[in-house]
Structure 1
């Protein structure tokens, strides 16, 4: 039971770090600053719902995607590890990865879909992380991955609802510190995924 709880915590922290709700809350606050409260709630719900559907799809269909494209778990872990590490590295430098860039969004676009749902909430790193956690041990892992992401979506929704207050309390300095801490966690998770991928590859070629 303790192993299950430990793994659940690991999955949650992995998603938490790569989604970075604190930084995304600041972005959300900037994007919806001129919208009224009902519109802000609608945008928050829609963006999180779309992000959740994207992660559910990749978590549930991970093995099918592997078979379709001939992808192995070591390959996913190596690629995902590099991807997650690069995002963490950029965050450690005090800047967002281009995968988390919202400046290119057109004001006429549906911001709930882009940039909020994709790529801010369900970007390449989040998808790779979901597939990595869900694809190795069957339906239990898939259910756990989806459940942890759902919990994080609820936490993110609360943050979005109080985005103006959170940004005011933390200030630029607090947001910078939070972003760098999340970057450090992501970099470590990325290296761990990379090492597991290399270990799996070595084991595979020695069979």
Structure 2
């Protein structure tokens, strides 16, 4: 049971760092802060529902996709580790990663893009979800998606109360949170990379 709790906490911290609800709350406020409260709630709900569906799809179909394209779990961990590390590295240096960029804001429905994809369900989040869910069978998938659902609810609440949160933490607080999340992400990415490389070396030997 303790191992299950430990794994749940690990998955939660991994997703929390890669999604970074606090930093994305600032992005949400910038994109939808001038809209009526009812519309903000609608946008936030739609964005989080889409995000959950995207991550659930990859968590369930990850192994099938690997089999179809002949991809190994080790290759995913190495590639995912690099992606997650790069996101963390940019955040650690106080810069937003291009993997989570919101520059292309031509879409009318901001809930879909850029909020759901790529801000919330970006390459790093997808890689993290597949990595966690593929290593524990059905239990791994259930645990991963349960934890991710909790994080989606937390993110939804952050979006709804974005103006209050940002007024409390301020720009300095946001910068500190972003850098701390970046450090956690960089470590998680490196760990994924080490595990992937170790598996490849073990297979060769």
TM-score, normalized by the shorter chain, greater than 0.5: yes
**Matched residues in 2 for 1:33 and 1:41: separation?**
11
Gaps of at least 5 residues in structure 2 are: none
Say yes or no: does 1:71 pair with 2:66: no
| Inter-partner Cα distance in structure 1 for 2:104 and 2:167 | 25
Q: Corresponding residue for 2:30?
A: 30
TM-score of the two chains, using structure 2 as the length reference: 0.98
Once the two structures are TM-superposed, the CA of residue 104 in structure 1 deviates from its matched residue by 2.3
Q: Does 1:121 align with 2:151?
A: no
Aligned residues: 205
Deviation at 1:99, TM superposition (A): 1.4
Match of 1:91 in 2: 91
- 1:12 is aligned to 12
Q: Which residue of 2 aligns with 1:58?
A: 58
RMSD: 0.7
Matched, 1:146 2:139: no
Q: Deviations over 1:140-177 (max 9, x none)?
A: 00111110100000000111111001111111111000
TM-score under structure 1 normalisation?
0.97
Is residue 2:21 matched to residue 1:21? yes
Gaps of 5+ in 1: none
Residue 124 of structure 1: how far off its partner (Å):
0.2
State the alpha-carbon separation in 1 of the partners of residues 169 and 8 from structure 2.
28
The structural deviation recorded for 1:33 is 1.6
TM-fit CA distance, 1:63: 0.7
Question: Which whole-Å deviations, capped at 9, do the CAs of 1:55-103 have from their partners, x for residues lacking one?
Answer: 0000011110110011101110000000000000000110110111113
Q: 1:197 corresponds to which residue?
A: 196
Asked if residue 172 in structure 1 is aligned to residue 196 in structure 2, the reply is no
Q: Measure, in 2, the Cα distance between the counterparts of 1:90 and 1:36.
A: 33
CA displacement 1:15-62 (0-9 Å, x = unmatched): 000000000001101111221011000000000000000000000111
Inter-partner Cα distance in structure 2 for 1:46 and 1:87: 25
Helix, strand or coil for the counterpart of 2:103? Answer: coil
Alignment correspondent of 1:156: 155
Q: Measure how far apart 1:203 and its partner are.
A: 1.2
